[in-house]
Amino acid sequence: MQQISDDVLREYEHLKDALNQHNHRYYVLDDPSVPDSEYDRQMRELQAIEAQYPGLLSEDSPSQRVGGKALESFTQVRHTVAMLSLENAFSDAELEDFDRRVKDRLNYAAQKNPTEIEFACEPKLDGVAVSLLYENGQLVRGATRGDGSVGEDITANVRTIKSIPLKLRGDNIPSLLEVRGEIYLPRPGFDALNAKAIAAGEKTFVNPRNAAAGSLRQLDSKITASRPLEMCAYSVGQFEAEVTPDSHTHMLETLGGWGFKINEHVVAVMGIAACEDYYSAMAERRDQLTYDIDGIVYKVNNLALQQRLGFVAKAPRWAIARKFPAQEEMTKLLDVEFQVGRTGAITPVARLAPVFVGGVTVSNATLHNGDEIKRLGVCIGDTVIIRRAGDVIPQIAKVILEKRPEDAQQIVFPERCPVCQSSVKRAEGEAVARCTGGLFCGAQIKEAIKHFASRKAMDIDGLGDKLVELLVDAGSIYSVADLFELNVDQLLGLERMADKSATNLTAAITASKETTLAKFLYSLGIREVGEATAQTLANNFGSLEAVIEADAEQLLDVDDIGPVVAKHIVNFFSNPDNLSIIQALRESGVNWADIDQNAQASQPLKGQTWVLTGGMEIMSRAEAKDRLQALGAKVAGSVSAKTSQVVAGPGAGSKLTKAQSLDIPVLDEAGFLEYLNRLG
């Protein structure tokens, strides 16, 4: 027998115990203790040891199990056809190895002029795998995957999910049909569920997958019914019918005809190179989807070839999952710093041991406010799970209490501003605490100037964050109005500022004087007044004087302006210091053309809501948005029943799909440009 060292045995037993515990927390308690990436790492380490020392492999190894055992509170269901898991690939090289193994098993080398293998590509939904059994077209049972052989009977709960047909529709209904699919919680529903939990002072869910699992394991099906779960079908188990589809994609089309929801991004491609292209395209589109996916599943599309390829102990040889970079990772909270924003908001920022998550190395995460710190129960020194999706600011999703050190420190929210030492106050009804120092506070001055100079505001090219901080620290500027008094000699006195850079910056400041009323309003940094609200104010009032003179009642008559925003606008223009800065800006030459209210009344798109999605090749998205707003349209970020028109460029995804489902008119870029030309 192969000699195994004590160190290897200890490490092996440690990994087995850890993975079994993770499985129990993940599948049974619905309370995962580590992110998926950490679980995958430990599983691969275990598999590597078993590959090197086959004598260690036993039936109780986590590598031989698909999931966790069924909950005792549910009736157990034995799957007639086992629900297996998938082998994972984490790189193009591993995906290409899979393709090579498939071809070897099919003896491709012996074929004359062999074609590439056709693969079905589909997003790997991050939810809960389920089995649905139909007899003569009627749903008779729903079950979780469980350990692959035995699951939990959740029939009462799956009946509440509207995307699951209770009775199959169409022709050629099989006498016996077992459909496998993924039940998941779309992001809007997840956000609403957590918001409701926070309002009630209850525990929130870590992620949508966790929420979906918890929703399905409710003993009271009314609770399940109250949550907006969805299911996509992705395969079949038992199947007794006169006619059998010949491919996986044909099978999915057939299931769609019988009433099942099928993911809209399923495609069939030829060859592994096309699979890699699909992976890249979906990785870019991932954050635009309304649901979480954690990778791509590839399946040999031809069902006869699937039969020839067969299975290994726990996975089919004809399928593999290519994982995306993890969106959740585990790291340590080293410290918390408190930053001051341009409106005085005090934001706690977590300083982390650097960790690679969501495709980038993360060392900071937002903690939002004092309530969030209290809700998480987080301390300095804790091990935490960090979540980052796309361009979303990383945030702490959960604290691993079992790993809390004895010297963990409570996070104390400051009573005085860390920059100017003014008192920190929290207004009644608000979650955010603010510095009361106003423009006396150096941090607020800096952030106000950075916002004023930003691309979507006055767009002063070359005036970056570090330069703003240098100018304020050197006493060269004290407000946004001082920018227009800067000269080359002043700039040359700053660190790393050469003659050409100084000349270019003063030219950019001069060029920024020509602007629009909407951009100027946005640049002022009025609380809750973003780009869209600034454009709305400009369109409705036409001049800065009219906006300044408007009272709360007049502001409330404007669409999309509520009591809170109206109050902020009135308060801002009631402050004599703010009016003084505006006057100084105008005297320095900042100007715009007022909007003719008579012309406004005849704007052809007034009252309409448009949505831009996908890429634009001739006109940029920003230009398209400006043109639409100039014509009176509101440009929204999401599609709803109130949307008037959608412009869909290359790469349009879920927004286009939703528009089509709601029968909202859709224009491509060429049609959009032609439409604008007709309007003049």
- Give the mean pLDDT of 638-642: 84
Identify the weakest region by mean pLDDT among 68-77, 206-215, 271-280: 68-77
pLDDT at 71: 59
pLDDT at 299: 97
pLDDT at 596: 67
User: pLDDT-derived band of residue 653, with 50, 70 and 90 as boundaries?
Assistant: confident
* CA–CA gap between residue 376 and residue 28 (Å, rounded): 22
pLDDT at 602: 61
Tell me if 117 sits within 8 A of 109, measured CB to CB: no
pTM: predicted TM-score of the whole model, two decimal places? 0.61
* CA–CA gap between residue 535 and residue 518 (Å, rounded): 5
∠ at Cα 514 (508, 518), nearest 5°? 115
**Active-site residue list:** 124
pLDDT at 70: 59
Indicate whether 21 pLDDT > 70.
Answer: yes
- Give the mean pLDDT of 421-441: 84
CATH code of 438-511, in short, is 1.10.150.20
The CATH T-level fold of domain 87-323 is: D-amino Acid Aminotransferase; Chain A, domain 1 (3.30.470)
Indicate whether 28 pLDDT > 60.
Answer: no
User: pLDDT-derived band of residue 182, with 50, 70 and 90 as boundaries?
Assistant: very high
User: pLDDT-derived band of residue 54, with 50, 70 and 90 as boundaries?
Assistant: confident
Residue that has been written with the tokens 């791509």 in this structure: 296
* CA–CA gap between residue 412 and residue 414 (Å, rounded): 6
Q: Are strands 293-300 and 118-125 parallel, antiparallel or unpaired?
A: antiparallel
Task: Decide whether 438-511 matches 517-599 in CATH topology.
Answer: yes
pLDDT at 288: 85
pLDDT digits (tens, 9 = 90+) for 585-635: 999 999 998 876 555 556 788 778 899 988 788 888 878 888 888 787 888
Spatial CB neighbours of 260, under 8 Å, sequence gap ≥ 6: 163, 164, 165, 179, 181, 231, 232, 233
pLDDT at 296: 96
Number of alpha carbons in the 13 Å side-chain half-sphere of residue 368:
13
CATH architecture of the domain with residue range 6-65: Orthogonal Bundle (1.10)
Hey, which CATH number is domain 330-426, 2.40.50.140, 3.40.50.300, 2.40.128.20, 1.10.150.120? 2.40.50.140
CA 24 from chain centre, in angstroms, equals: 27
- Buried/exposed code over 119-143 (b: 16+ C-beta within 10 A; e: otherwise): bbbbbbbbbbbbbbbbeebebebbb
Residue that has been written with the tokens 């007794």 in this structure: 240
CATH classification (class only), 517-599? mainly alpha
Task: Tell the CATH superfamily of the 603-679 domain.
Answer: BRCT domain (3.40.50.10190)
User: pLDDT-derived band of residue 262, with 50, 70 and 90 as boundaries?
Assistant: very high
Q: What percent of the chain has pLDDT over 70?
A: 95
Domain ranges of the chain: 6-65, 87-323, 330-426, 438-511, 517-599, 603-679
Mean pLDDT of the chain: 88
* CA–CA gap between residue 77 and residue 144 (Å, rounded): 9
CA distances to 60, 568, 615 from 265, in Å: 38, 44, 18
pLDDT at 270: 95
User: pLDDT-derived band of residue 412, with 50, 70 and 90 as boundaries?
Assistant: very high
Alpha helices, DSSP H, located in 236-329? 248-257, 272-285, 303-309
- Give the mean pLDDT of 305-322: 91
Length of the chain equals 680
pLDDT digits (tens, 9 = 90+) for 115-144: 889 999 999 999 999 999 999 999 999 999
Please tell me whether residue 451 adopts helix, strand or coil conformation: helix
